A and B are shown apart, each in its own frame.
Chain A
């Protein structure tokens, strides 16, 4: 028989993370790596890092988040690199601000690899269990209580429960409680959050049907292969020779839309059986047909879910129509006429915490030491979840250390944009990252993420020394190279002009720096290297020395190719140099804009500021400011309903204090 535990031995951790999804894993790893004794609690340990929806990471906006997570020492980027089945750089034909990496992943491998990362962390424990309530005393978190009555104490708690809070699956007119299909929801925690005075909202998300790869006709679709020489999310990843698996692209037709229209009255969005608001940017086929009646086709990407499974994900055919209608919709689409359903699509409705109740550290204002991350804050997407998870984990750990929270500004990181948007503007639909959300996107690029954030990650000891040194080396290389190019003068000459002509560029009439030449849109860094060799040959005839020096620089580059970090990173350095050179003017202008606004961002508003006594601002502004409690004048200026006039008043008042 078990003796009842009396007083004394209380199980205690520094940080408890509730949830083992993408936000939870990132949170738990960060806190543990920062030296906190950390416990990750999840309903089912078999489902850690599960990708319940699309088998992909990255994309425009999201890919930048994943790269930033890596630069801060998070796991998502590396884990994706370990688990990919296809890599693709998107928007290579467009400007550098919107270029982004996207990976198809092997779902099961992704879980396995993330579990291994968790198991490798000595300060990180895992526990299968359901949290029933938060243990709060004097507005400060003390720990959690499990449904079995166990108490576990903690200094900080991160909640990352995804779609499980009062989760409700909706298919056609059917509604039943579930966190995901086949899994029970978390029913008690919402109540506990409300008890702490937190206001909850209701959102909805949906996932498309999965079909059997044996039942599709690829001849009727366009093959969509990965990049032949794939880039990686993490500079730490080494290239491998793994065989990539193609996706396939097909389009819905008028016939598909006809089927949807015929049965639209059965869709939850028509019957009203979904009460939560869905993601605008990932609309179901039901909604697309309804909202865009003139469009005669919508793309459907047919994506493999792994190397060892025949399940295919139908990106673009998200639906929560009745299953028998789902089959008709799929089968009305070219390439999918014989498609056999393996998992029906469904919608899931869940509670989220209205994120304007959080501070920029992701700590709730109501309960000190309670942090929220991921879908519980009204976002959608693994990348958004992981980014918040990482930040919540870092800040939960910093709180244990008694240090100031880490807050990334909007001009520092997409992560900063994400959190500032959530906290300052709130959400009225599931939030998804886009490059258009970042006003400073030209300086928040995929390629410069390490320069922006690795010093932060290193200071937190999340980025190991060796990797940081490597990043520093790269940074110096890029600088040296840019300086070298600026110093190198290319003389007009027959050989040089021939080469320019071949590259489709106008000829040189007077000497110009290599950097100036690189700014020409039609010339790549490789063209410049070639040009410099040509120039060097010509210069040697005329005993020029500057070009020789640059030539040596180029030779050194080539000679270093054998060092382990260089091979994947050589092209990265080239890309960095090219972007910095070509977009120098735009980047400089954006930097000016950043510094112009800097004073607003740096004018702090005391946490206990009394807006009630502030004369001259509108009632609406007073209400909003009191509720959101912005940390700075900059944040205050982004609150909807707070006008520039209100900001001026506030600025004058703060100055006077």
Chain B
């Protein structure tokens, strides 16, 4: 059979959590392998383009802290020209909107270019202990072996599990419930079984994504002035100036979602039923009576670690060298995913290489809060509502 490659750290998943973990581990000098089910989707934020809601949103200061810790997300936002809150910048609304696709591509480029990081497409099936964990304390020893769907084998001293909504994911896409990580993507079911087998207590959590509509439906354009045409035009103007969203109504909000296909996310709208029923329901709100829904609302339930199983460095209490980050750790948004990713990645690197972990992390207020919440809070997903909505 083939050689088993040995790394210091293996990161399972390359979303906002996995990418941050791999970058942090690489920065710490750990030889890091980052695995993703599909390299075309690396770093792709699946749900909302809204990263931070407003200046009352805890994710704002969290992003600022992430920047001081050298996190990749704030750097990519800067690179993409997304106005992000900085600690001192008063007057900034605090809102951070992203182009999901461009951010994903930027993540991929960053991971591919990072020193000590190897990005590779693979679906992880199993995680097994190479030596009995807890007994072997030698820092650089390969504690864990990862096996993939295509039969590849990798060993590592530490793992970061950052499989996002893919862990045992079930997608409800307009009433059709099927295994899936996101709409149109396969889940990581075997990994869920293997974690269960290792004694992890997993709990199912839920996440939903509002529908998208076409920003300029033909019939709206033909009919001249309609609500949608107005808001879109306004959105276009606003995008150009402030990269900001437009308040279409008090209870719903249209968020620009990707400049390529020109879609808008109808934030705050949720309905059940099949696509055409959802579309009808949207039209019946009276605001967008000609809207064309390009993507229905969909939801996913997936498995995440239940409370009291990791310490504040996000390492499993009973599985030395296995760290959890992002949604599988019980968090619920990209910024929290990134922050926990960074903590887990740095921790995994330290565990694998035997070098001390940077204590800066522990001293960061919001980083500490979210990690504490992951470790101690009973409810899943965890919420920290210090200064506004957590989710």
In the bound assembly, the distance between CA atoms of A148 and B39 in angstroms comes to: 28
CB A101 to nearest CB in B, in angstroms, measures: 26
In the bound assembly, the distance between CA atoms of A43 and B120 in angstroms comes to: 24
- The interface on chain A, measured as residues whose beta carbon lies within 8 A of the other chain's beta carbons, has a size of 65
Tell which of A37, A111, A122 touches B216, judged by Cβ atoms closer than 8 Å: A122
Task: State whether the Cβ of A455 lies closer than 8 Å to any Cβ in chain B.
Answer: no
Contacts of B173 in A (CB 8 A): 148
Contacts of A125 in B (CB 8 A): 214, 217-218, 292, 294
In the bound assembly, the distance between CA atoms of A597 and B186 in angstroms comes to: 53
CB A585 to nearest CB in B, in angstroms, measures: 50
Identify which of A63-71, A149-157, A547-555 touches chain B: A149-157
B-contact 0/1 string along A295-323, CB 8 Å cutoff: 00000000000001111000000000011
Task: State whether the Cβ of B183 lies closer than 8 Å to any Cβ in chain A.
Answer: yes
Contact B295 A46 (CB under 8 A): no
Contact B272 A2 (CB under 8 A): yes
Task: State whether the Cβ of B383 lies closer than 8 Å to any Cβ in chain A.
Answer: no
* Known interface pairs A2-B278, A184-B180; A148-B175 also in contact (CB < 8 Å): yes
* Known interface pairs A128-B295, A340-B118; A118-B279 also in contact (CB < 8 Å): no
Residue of chain A at shortest CB distance from B279: A11
Contact A148 B150 (CB under 8 A): no
CB B194 to nearest CB in A, in angstroms, measures: 18
CB A111 to nearest CB in B, in angstroms, measures: 8
CB B19 to nearest CB in A, in angstroms, measures: 15
Task: State whether the Cβ of B273 lies closer than 8 Å to any Cβ in chain A.
Answer: yes
Contacts of A210 in B (CB 8 A): 39
Contact A126 B276 (CB under 8 A): no
Task: State whether the Cβ of A112 lies closer than 8 Å to any Cβ in chain B.
Answer: yes
Contact A147 B176 (CB under 8 A): yes
Task: State whether the Cβ of A171 lies closer than 8 Å to any Cβ in chain B.
Answer: yes
Contacts of A45 in B (CB 8 A): 261, 263, 294-295
Residue of chain B at shortest CB distance from A149: B274
In the bound assembly, the distance between CA atoms of A123 and B105 in angstroms comes to: 29
Residue of chain B at shortest CB distance from A4: B277
CB B5 to nearest CB in A, in angstroms, measures: 9
In the bound assembly, the distance between CA atoms of A5 and B277 in angstroms comes to: 6
Contact A123 B295 (CB under 8 A): no
Tell which of B3, B176, B184 touches A183, judged by Cβ atoms closer than 8 Å: B184
In the bound assembly, the distance between CA atoms of A182 and B148 in angstroms comes to: 13
* Known interface pairs A5-B276, A148-B175; A128-B294 also in contact (CB < 8 Å): yes
Task: State whether the Cβ of A366 lies closer than 8 Å to any Cβ in chain B.
Answer: no
Residue of chain A at shortest CB distance from B214: A125
Contacts of A127 in B (CB 8 A): 275, 293-295
Contact B275 A146 (CB under 8 A): yes
In the bound assembly, the distance between CA atoms of A50 and B173 in angstroms comes to: 22
Task: State whether the Cβ of A135 lies closer than 8 Å to any Cβ in chain B.
Answer: no
Tell which of B105, B108, B150, B274 touches A150, judged by Cβ atoms closer than 8 Å: B274
* Known interface pairs A126-B214, A174-B151, A311-B39; A212-B275 also in contact (CB < 8 Å): no
Within 8 A of A (CB), among B180-201: 180, 183-186
Contacts of A150 in B (CB 8 A): 174, 274-277
Within 8 A of B (CB), among A1-26: 1-5, 9, 11
Task: State whether the Cβ of A344 lies closer than 8 Å to any Cβ in chain B.
Answer: yes
- The interface on chain B, measured as residues whose beta carbon lies within 8 A of the other chain's beta carbons, has a size of 64
Residue of chain A at shortest CB distance from B115: A214
Contacts of A309 in B (CB 8 A): 108-109, 112
Instruction: Find the residue from B173, B271, B278 having the highest chain A CB count within 10 A.
Output: B173
In the bound assembly, the distance between CA atoms of A149 and B296 in angstroms comes to: 13
CB B168 to nearest CB in A, in angstroms, measures: 16
Tell which of B101, B120, B175, B185 touches A341, judged by Cβ atoms closer than 8 Å: B120
Contact A115 B261 (CB under 8 A): yes
In the bound assembly, the distance between CA atoms of A50 and B292 in angstroms comes to: 24
Contact A183 B38 (CB under 8 A): yes
Instruction: Find the residue from B2, B108, B261 having the highest chain A CB count within 10 A.
Output: B261
Task: State whether the Cβ of B262 lies closer than 8 Å to any Cβ in chain A.
Answer: yes
Task: State whether the Cβ of B280 lies closer than 8 Å to any Cβ in chain A.
Answer: yes
Task: State whether the Cβ of A276 lies closer than 8 Å to any Cβ in chain B.
Answer: no
* Known interface pairs A115-B261, A149-B274, A311-B39; A328-B2 also in contact (CB < 8 Å): yes
Task: State whether the Cβ of B121 lies closer than 8 Å to any Cβ in chain A.
Answer: yes
CB B171 to nearest CB in A, in angstroms, measures: 10
Contact A171 B150 (CB under 8 A): yes
Contacts of A46 in B (CB 8 A): 40-41, 44, 101, 184
Contact A178 B218 (CB under 8 A): no
Contacts of B93 in A (CB 8 A): none
CB A343 to nearest CB in B, in angstroms, measures: 4
In the bound assembly, the distance between CA atoms of A342 and B261 in angstroms comes to: 29
Within 8 A of B (CB), among A84-124: 108, 111-112, 115-116, 118-119, 122-124
CB B371 to nearest CB in A, in angstroms, measures: 31
Tell which of A2, A130, A149, A341 touches B271, judged by Cβ atoms closer than 8 Å: A2
Contact B218 A123 (CB under 8 A): yes
Contacts of B1 in A (CB 8 A): 324
B-contact 0/1 string along A196-237, CB 8 Å cutoff: 000000000000001010000000000000000000000000
Task: State whether the Cβ of A48 lies closer than 8 Å to any Cβ in chain B.
Answer: yes
B-contact 0/1 string along A336-348, CB 8 Å cutoff: 0000111110100
Task: State whether the Cβ of A246 lies closer than 8 Å to any Cβ in chain B.
Answer: no
CB B292 to nearest CB in A, in angstroms, measures: 5
CB B304 to nearest CB in A, in angstroms, measures: 22
Tell which of A9, A43, A112 touches B280, judged by Cβ atoms closer than 8 Å: A9
Contact A308 B294 (CB under 8 A): no
Task: State whether the Cβ of B123 lies closer than 8 Å to any Cβ in chain A.
Answer: yes
Contact A184 B150 (CB under 8 A): no
Contact A148 B274 (CB under 8 A): yes
Contacts of B281 in A (CB 8 A): 2-3
Contact A322 B2 (CB under 8 A): yes
Task: State whether the Cβ of A327 lies closer than 8 Å to any Cβ in chain B.
Answer: yes
Contacts of B121 in A (CB 8 A): 181-182, 342-344
Contact B2 A126 (CB under 8 A): no
CB A180 to nearest CB in B, in angstroms, measures: 8
In the bound assembly, the distance between CA atoms of A50 and B38 in angstroms comes to: 13
A-contact 0/1 string along B27-39, CB 8 Å cutoff: 0000000000111
Task: State whether the Cβ of B202 lies closer than 8 Å to any Cβ in chain A.
Answer: no
CB B177 to nearest CB in A, in angstroms, measures: 10
Task: State whether the Cβ of A458 lies closer than 8 Å to any Cβ in chain B.
Answer: no
Contacts of A462 in B (CB 8 A): none
Contact A183 B118 (CB under 8 A): no
Contacts of B113 in A (CB 8 A): 310
In the bound assembly, the distance between CA atoms of A152 and B292 in angstroms comes to: 13
Contacts of A346 in B (CB 8 A): 150
In the bound assembly, the distance between CA atoms of A460 and B3 in angstroms comes to: 59
Task: State whether the Cβ of A353 lies closer than 8 Å to any Cβ in chain B.
Answer: no
B-contact 0/1 string along A419-452, CB 8 Å cutoff: 0000000000000000000000000000000000
Contacts of A112 in B (CB 8 A): 101, 260
In the bound assembly, the distance between CA atoms of A3 and B122 in angstroms comes to: 43
In the bound assembly, the distance between CA atoms of A147 and B185 in angstroms comes to: 16
Write 21 A-B pairs (CB below 8 A) sorted by A numbering. A3-B284, A5-B280, A47-B40, A123-B218, A127-B275, A130-B176, A148-B173, A148-B175, A148-B274, A148-B275, A149-B175, A178-B186, A182-B185, A183-B184, A183-B185, A323-B148, A323-B150, A324-B152, A342-B121, A343-B120, A346-B150
The list of the 10 closest CB pairs from A to B, nearest first, reads A324-B2, A182-B38, A44-B184, A115-B260, A148-B274, A148-B174, A119-B262, A150-B276, A343-B121, A310-B112
Q: Give 5 new A-B contacts, CB below 8 A, not counting A4-B277, A308-B109.
A: A46-B40, A127-B293, A148-B176, A184-B184, A328-B2
Interface residues, chain B, CB within 8 Å of chain A?
1-3, 37-41, 44, 101, 105, 108-109, 112-113, 118-123, 148-152, 173-176, 178, 180, 183-186, 214-218, 221-222, 260-263, 271-281, 284, 292-296
